[in-house]
Structure 1
Amino acid sequence: MIRNFKWLLVASLAFTACSDDDETTIAPEVITSGQADFSNYVALGDSFAAGYSDNALFVMGQQNAYTSILAQQFMLAGGGEFNIPLMADNIGGFSSGGVQVPQFPTRLWFNADTSTPLNVDGPTTTGLTDHLTGSFNNMGIPGAKSFHLVTPGYATLNPYFGRFASSTSTTVVADAVAQGPSFFSLWIGGNDVLSYATSGGIGTNQTGNLDPSTYGGNDITDPNVFANVYSNIVNGLTSGGAKGVVANLPYVNALPYFTAVPYNPVPLDAQSVALLTAAYAQYNDALQLAASMGAITAAEAKRRTITFHVGEENPVVIVDSYLTNLSGLGIPSYRQATADDLIVLPARSFIGTLVGGNAQAINGVSVPLADNWVLTVDEVNEVRIATDSYNATIQSIAASKGLAFVDAKAIMEDLLDGGIVRNGYTMKTDYVTGGMFSLDGVHPSPRGYALIANFFAAAVNATYGSNLPDVDLTDYRILYPKQL
């Protein structure tokens, strides 16, 4: 698993420089841990920590997780073995009775002939109820939200944790603390808003609800719940004197999952424009009537008015529940998307399809997109507010505990704004071609995880006086092929 062989070689050799009249032996740089102790590194987090990529968890992805790469860097400075609860193969997902479980599909690969991602052939040999024995240093749990890490019995709810938990009643943090870590990494909180965002905001913003046991799977976690849970997690991990590194959370709107599909992908000819204009005429007239009655403002009526033009880049039509409810007047909540709305990645194969084979019923055009296909500007704002609150908590606790801190939010902004150049590569957030993200549009590629590991190592160096080297991004691919 150790990729950075050149550093191990450097550590075992001395170089000799010769001049005309003497020889000088130059000792190699010694990689040290500074004030940290990497002998027992334990990683906590969600799918990023686990190495989830291409919409699945599989062996090679786990071995290329930022946590695994970071552990390899730690080994250069006294780090110990890093045990991973490996899946059974490189297919991904879970099977039951020899059949792939639909909720856990196989990983994606990119078919260049069709320019589309496809699932590799399954089923996987990783059984849904398989259980591993022993303790594991990588405790990244795909799907985990912050409060899940302290929830007893979470192993019965999440098969990724269930396959290596010490018991069905334990918690993730309890199993981590039981290992007596000397150093830890913690990157958690993304899923506390991500599932709300990827579902197009169909969940509930639970701000104000302090009981996470009542939350749905696609809900936003209350910031006070997050703060309390995060504090308890860090207190537990540091109770034995462990040092560590934590990271804050980027805004989800920078992920390719929300940027790959434009808000205005519809080309129309003159005949189509005429038909659509006639189809929405009654709706538009009703908006003007509602405005004249004072039911909505003139500005809202204008925002909701649906118009098309001949040519490219017509916005899709969407349902927006944040608009004034005019159902009493028989007026639905429709409008056209703007650049502030985010169309989710799966919509790329849905927009433009026909409803029931009817050529006049076109999804996203004559038939508005339902809420699950779009994260509207108001929903984006809800996610942003929650993320800002989580990040304030993370940074405050990191400072109070003297932990190394990775500003993942700033890193994502740099990736979005021109990219980050390393080892001759410009890493960007573009879907498929950007190099940073895998085919699911949310999780990093192998090279993306390597870049993240370097940022974590840099934060550790800055805080604890270690001198961990970067890994070379050249050693890590962008996408996994069909066959591994």
Structure 2
Amino acid sequence: MMTSFLLRKATPLALLAGLGLTACQPDLEGDFSPSNGGVDFSNYIAVGNSLTAGFSDGGLYLTGQQQSYPALLAQQFKTVGGGEFVQPLFNVANQQNGSGYLRLAGFTAAGSPITASVATNLALRQGATATRPLYTKFTDPVNNLGVPGIRLSDVETAGYGSVLGNPYFERISPDNSNQTYLARVTASNPTFFTNWLGNNDVLGYATAGGAASFLTPTADFTAKNAKIIDALTAKGAKGVVATIPDVTNIPFFTTVGPSFRATLEAAKVPAIVVTTGGFSGTPGAPPTRKVIPVNTIRNANGSSGNQLFTLTSSPYLPLFGMPNKGKAWRDVYNQAKPSLPAFVTLGLFLQLQGVDTVQAFGATAAHPFPSTLVLDDAEQVLVKDATTAFNNSIKAKAAEKGLGVFDANTFFAQVASNGIVTNGISNTAGFITGNLFSLDGVHPTPRGYAIVANEMIKVINSTYGAKVPTVNPNDYQGVKFP
């Protein structure tokens, strides 16, 4: 990909040059000479989760890996003495689609996107099942330690890289390894690093509508973040850490609700009913019901309403008010089934939740929306409080070690409000059309990752006095149209 440098305001001479009068044109880039500023980029290690791995469109696959923000950073570091950067690529023949992913297949007559799963040429090895994938091993030393799904709370979990642990960490771990992620980071011996861990300590709870996963206790988050940073800086490495964005600003939460609200208001529906919190396993103690006035569902520009519907709620919203439509609750049961006792049938599960699917869906307490489809206002407060506490921990540890901080929380909040222009091209946080977020509504597109790389480069240059050139985000695509 092409490399661009910092843009400068056009001078009168430059404007004349644009008219063909080039004899006196100054060399506008002549004063930008790449420099490492005294930073040793020879062994760059990227620590993080799916964002670091290059996850996009709901999966990890070769194209996303090749355009991960660490890969783009490493590409630019080579201009200032950076070394080789090894990623665990899915580059075995006919396995380039990795875990599988979503593609945009087209649009309905009403303009709604149609997505399809890419499930061919996957990187699965013998023994993999639908509920426990096993990916083709990559056991060479790697510089990109991005592990989709990992939380800071997981970094000291023994067996996390086993066949019973995280399949992405298992893929890059030796067979029968009991090594923790923290131990792997400690052994990496970076000369420079980026660390973007912590998102999943909030995201898992939020994307499940508060019905599954959990918010990591702040004390646990703080302690394990400190251990990761201490390990990375033990031999004097410099680096950049990133904060956790406010997940309620991403398309996963801002896309579906506004149109649903408009539909309900047009039909003069005053309110809907949802469950809150987790699902019940106790007879006679079903989940709490919550009545949500329609005018409190978030509108298109966020100026009104604070109840958020998840992107995954989209298939179920057209069923609102219909009797005998139990698809949402059947799907919840099927997703939960692997972790339920064998004797819990669909009928028993519905009984425990106090759900009667004969009733009108979403309009009655007897047949409410499952909490997995809605992140309500009370749950958002918990998410925002955790995000603030975690970010305070990240910044405090970075200040202690003199590290650069990419404030992803502030940056993505600004993008959500105002968008971002890259070399004359407007980009927004809008789903599909905004260029920045992929089809899963959570992870960036290649262009989004390029913009993240540039923001980190800005932090590196300002913190360490380096002159690492940026990339041109417009060289990287947004959502790929059919």
Asked whether the two chains share a fold, i.e. TM above 0.5, the reply is: yes
Task: Note if 1:54 corresponds to 2:53.
Answer: no
Aligned to 1:65: 68
CA 1:76 to 1:344, structure 2 compared with 1: closer, same or farther past 3 Å?
A: same
Of the three residues 124, 132, 135, the one matched with 2:138 is: 132
The answer (yes or no) to whether the contact 2:44–2:192 under 8 Å persists in 1 is yes
**1:107, 1:119 within 8 Å by CA — same for their partners in 2?**
yes
Rounded to whole Å, the distance in 1 between the matches of 2:107 and 2:254 is 23
* Aligned-pair CA distance for 1:312: 6.5
TM-score, scaled to structure 2: 0.76
- 1:73-100 per-residue CA deviation (whole Å, 9 max, x = no partner) reads 111110000000012433231xxxxxxx
Counterpart residue number, 2:211:
202
In the alignment, what sits opposite 2:47? 44
CA distance in 2 between counterparts of 1:61 and 1:321 reads: 34
Counterparts of 1:458 and 1:332, CA distance in 2: 47
Q: 1:315 to 1:428 in 2, by over 3 A?
A: farther
Partner of 1:385: 385
In structure 2, C-alpha distance between the alignment counterparts of 1:373 and 1:80, rounded to whole Å: 45
- Change in Cα spacing, 1:49 to 1:321, as seen in structure 2 (3 Å) is closer
The whole-number CA distance in structure 1 between the counterparts of 2:381 and 2:449 is: 28
CA offset digits 1:34-61 (Å, max 9, x no partner): 0211000000000000000000000110
Which string of whole-angstrom CA distances, capped at 9 and with x for unpartnered residues, describes residues 414-435 of structure 1?
A: 1110211111222211111111
Query: Structure 1 residues 173 and 57 mapped into 2: Cα distance closer, same or farther (>3 Å)?
Result: same
Q: Shift in Å at residue 352 of structure 1?
A: 2.5
Q: 1:343 to 1:136 in 2, by over 3 A?
A: same
- The offset of 1:5, in angstroms, is 5.7
Equivalent position of 1:175 in the other structure: 184
Q: How has the CA–CA distance of structure 1 residues 54 and 27 changed in structure 2, closer, same or farther, with 3 Å as cutoff?
A: closer
Q: Any idea what the Cα deviations from partners look like across 1:190-210, whole Å, max 9, x if unmatched? A: 10011100111013xxxxxxx
Paired letter, 1:259: T
Aligned-pair CA distance for 1:481 = 5.5
- Pairs within 5 Å for 1:254-273: 254-262=249-257, 265=260
Instruction: Report if aligned partners of 1:264, 1:315 keep a CA contact under 8 Å in 2.
Output: no
Residue in structure 1 matched with residue 115 of structure 2 by the alignment: 117
Q: What residue is the counterpart of 2:155 in the other structure?
A: 149
- For residues 223-272 of structure 1, the C-alpha deviation after alignment (integer angstroms, 9 at most, x for no partner) is 0000000001000110011110001111110011111111671677xxxx
Partners of 1:61 and 1:332 in 2: how far apart?
A: 40
1:361 deviates by: 4.3
TM-fit CA distance, 1:136: 0.0
How far residue 357 of structure 1 moved from its aligned partner, in angstroms, is 5.0
Identity %: 34
Decide whether the 8 Å contact of 2:211 with 2:277 is kept in 1: no
Residues 352 and 363 in structure 1, CA contact (< 8 A), matched pair in contact too: no
| Map 1:288-307 → 2, pairs under 5 A | none
Quick check: 412-421 or 136-145, which moved more? Answer: 412-421
Per the alignment, residue 300 of structure 2 pairs with: none
> How many Å separate the matches in 2 of 1:176 and 1:362?
52
Q: Secondary structure at the match of 1:155?
A: coil
RMSD of the TM alignment (CA)? 3.1
User: For 1:116, what is the secondary structure of its paired residue?
Assistant: strand
Q: How does 1:261-410 map to 2 (within 5 A)?
A: 261-262=256-257, 265=260, 311=267, 316-320=272-276, 333-337=289-293, 338=296, 339-353=305-319, 354=322, 356=324, 361-366=359-364, 367-410=367-410
* Stretch moving more, 183-192 or 167-176: 167-176
What CA distance in whole angstroms lies between the structure 2 residues aligned with 1:405 and 1:245? 6
Q: Distance in 1 between matches of 2:68 and 2:198?
A: 18
| Residue of structure 1 in register with 2:301 after alignment | none
Rounded Cα–Cα distance in structure 1 between residues aligned with 2:157 and 2:358? 50
Deviations 1:164-207 (A, max 9, x none): 1246111223223323210010001010011100111013xxxx
> Larger Cα Rg: Structure 1 or Structure 2?
1
> Matched residue of 1:112: which SS?
strand
Aligned residue number for residue 334 of structure 2? none
Shift of 1:473: 1.2
In structure 1, the partner of 2:101 is 107
8 A Cα contact 1:145 1:191, kept in partner: yes
| Contact 1:265–1:316, Cα closer than 8 Å, also in 2 | no
Give unpaired runs (5+ residues) of structure 1.
Answer: 8-17, 94-105, 204-217, 269-307
**Residue 75 to residue 313, structure 1, CA distance change in 2 (3 Å):** farther
| Greater displacement, 229-238 / 167-176 | 167-176
TM-score relative to the length of structure 1:
0.76
Distance 2:455 2:374 in 1: 32
Which of 69, 86, 90 is matched with 2:89 structurally? 86
Q: Name the CA distance, whole Å, in 2 between partners of 1:331 and 1:142.
A: 30
For the pair 1:165 / 2:131, whether they are aligned, the reply is no
* Partners of 1:332 and 1:19 in 2: CA distance: 75
Instruction: Classify 1:92/1:234 alpha carbon distance in 2 versus 1 (closer, same or farther; 3 Å).
Output: same
Q: 1:371 to 1:402 in 2, by over 3 A?
A: same
Query: Contact 1:223–1:386 at 8 Å: present in 2 too?
Result: yes
Within 2, Cα distance between the matches of 1:27 and 1:265? 54
Cα deviation 1:322-357 (Å, max 9, x = unaligned): 9xxxx99x9973302522111111111111325535
Looking at structure 2, the residues matched to 313 and 66 of structure 1 have their Cα atoms a distance apart, in angstroms, of: 45
Q: Aligned-pair distance for 1:439? A: 0.3
Aligned length: 400
Q: Which amino acid aligns with 1:112?
A: G
Change in Cα spacing, 1:315 to 1:252, as seen in structure 2 (3 Å) is: farther
